[in-house]
Chain A
Amino acid sequence: MSQKLEKLIDKKGLRLDGRKPDELRPIKIEVGALSNADGSAYIQQGKNKILAAVYGPKELHPKHLALPDRMVLRCRYHMAPFSVQERKSPAPSRREIELSKVIRESLEPSIFIEYYPRTSIDLFIEVLQADGGTRCASITAASLALADAGIPMRDLVAACAAGKVDGTIVLDLMDTEDKVGTADVPVALMPNLNAITLLQMDGILTLEEFEKAVNLALEGCRKIYTMQKEALKAKYIAVKEVEE
């Protein structure tokens, strides 16, 4: 887009979808959405719709890829051809391969990978509908899928982005804001340990703006974390209430 068609933030300080600058999109999370996977989760964040599935731990094939001292986490981030406006080729693109690596590296510190050497975990992330911030929503869902599979973890990983749009620092960018805006800072956090596992920046920010954006994103992560925990517990609390 060479020319700006519309103002991204109106006179009242509200964004295109009526959110305040520090407001998240509505989030719906479901754990255990797939019955054939060892663990799975489904997330809707605004118009994003993402499925994550975990298989394993299991023996690694081909065997020569197995590591003698830790397990191998393999991750595939994939966008469905119908997930965006213009049909996307189903073959993995440069961007998808990079995101697979980024997501893997942001989840690996949360798992006790040294507990089960010579094994592997396969993680599949399928983006059914994309509207900006899919890498963050994917991390949020994938972490829940791992917990659902019963893999020992240090903490759940919650992820959220912040950025700069029309000169204002805003939380949880959607597609238009991401493309037209000046900067995007995705952050992933293990909230209980207060450890950041992913920090990227795309665009230009001053030092002060960057600090503000990171802090805003961290706050967003903590909000998402409480929703994650509720979603994980919801599966079991429902059974308990019916029976007691």
Chain B
Amino acid sequence: MPTFFERRQLVTPGDLLAEGQYIAGENTYKEDDKIYASRIGVVEYQDKKVNVVALRAFYVPRVGDTVIGTIVEVGFNGWMVDINSPYLALLRASDVLSRPFKPQKNDLSEVLDAGDLVIAKIIAYDRAHNPQLTVSEPGLGKITRGQVVKVTPTKIPRVIGRKGSMVSMIKQETGCHIILGHNGIILITGKSLENEQLAIMAIRKIEEESHTTGLTDRIVQMIKKEKEKGKQKEEDKNESET
């Protein structure tokens, strides 16, 4: 039962990854006991399972995921939400409004209008129906402040890091509050614009270099460097004022 690549090697669609008693994991497929890659990515062998961590992919809804979406349409009894996936998601009015409502009387665009951003959770999805969202849990609902960043959805685990090491580091270093949507949209709210900018820079760097090793250390260094630059600027400013 041979494997044909080393761990963490770059593979392209159609590459033969393993032959024999293996299980096809993410971004792979099996044909006659042979496992092939179906996306460009980095290969991982876990016991009998073969996975490819994709470098390019789009978001496919999954029940239980937290996502950040944009309202694109206000309907009679709900909203259509763009969740950065091939399918639009449905957010029902009865889920948002706790009181009973009548479509004839209530104007839904007063509650949420097109262009508004929401944090929501997927409660239902299958092949035949578009995903359905809910906001009736703590932490979910309309976004009122902060900035959003878009990254490739498959890179969200990299932004989180091992046991949350990467994201907690960024939170600590920049003092920003960070919410990760599984659909690749990240909300950053900080005390100042500079801090938010710094966190965005760090996330952009992670996205670009997600397939390299020793990334956390490099990000720490980058943030420290940028902080120093910021301080320097402030001091220069103070000096020129006095």
Identity of the chain A residue whose Cβ is nearest the Cβ of B15 in the assembled complex: A192
- The total of chain A residues at the interface (CB under 8 A) is 36
Q: Which of B10-60 contact A (CB under 8 A)?
A: 10, 12-16, 27, 29, 31, 36, 38-40, 54-58, 60
The majority secondary structure among interface residues of chain B is loop
Contact partner of B12 among A38, A117, A119, A156, CB < 8 A? Answer: A156
**Is A58 in the interface zone, CB < 8 Å from B?**
yes
A38 to B184, CA, bound (A): 15
**Is B211 in the interface zone, CB < 8 Å from A?**
yes
Known: A56-B86, A118-B87. A154 touches B13 (CB 8 A): yes
CB distance from A233 to the nearest CB of B (A): 5
Contacts of B152 in A (CB 8 A): 150
CB distance from B189 to the nearest CB of A (A): 28
Contact A57–B39 (Cβ < 8 Å): no
CB distance from B44 to the nearest CB of A (A): 16
Identity of the chain B residue whose Cβ is nearest the Cβ of A228 in the assembled complex: B12
Contact partner of B39 among A56, A147, A191, A228, CB < 8 A? Answer: A147
CB distance from B172 to the nearest CB of A (A): 23
Contacts of B127 in A (CB 8 A): 117
Identity of the chain B residue whose Cβ is nearest the Cβ of A39 in the assembled complex: B56
Contact partner of B13 among A56, A119, A147, A237, CB < 8 A? Answer: A147
Most central of B15, B27, B38 by chain A CB within 10 Å: B38
Contact partner of B10 among A68, A233, A244, CB < 8 A? Answer: A233
CB distance from B136 to the nearest CB of A (A): 26
A162 to B40, CA, bound (A): 30
Contacts of A59 in B (CB 8 A): 86-88
A150 to B85, CA, bound (A): 12
A182 to B226, CA, bound (A): 66
Contacts of A148 in B (CB 8 A): 40, 56
**Is A82 in the interface zone, CB < 8 Å from B?**
no
CB distance from B219 to the nearest CB of A (A): 11
A147 to B208, CA, bound (A): 18
Contact A243–B212 (Cβ < 8 Å): yes
Contacts of B211 in A (CB 8 A): 236, 239-240
**Is B218 in the interface zone, CB < 8 Å from A?**
yes
Contacts of A117 in B (CB 8 A): 127-128
A154 to B55, CA, bound (A): 17
**Is B194 in the interface zone, CB < 8 Å from A?**
no
Most central of B16, B39, B40 by chain A CB within 10 Å: B40
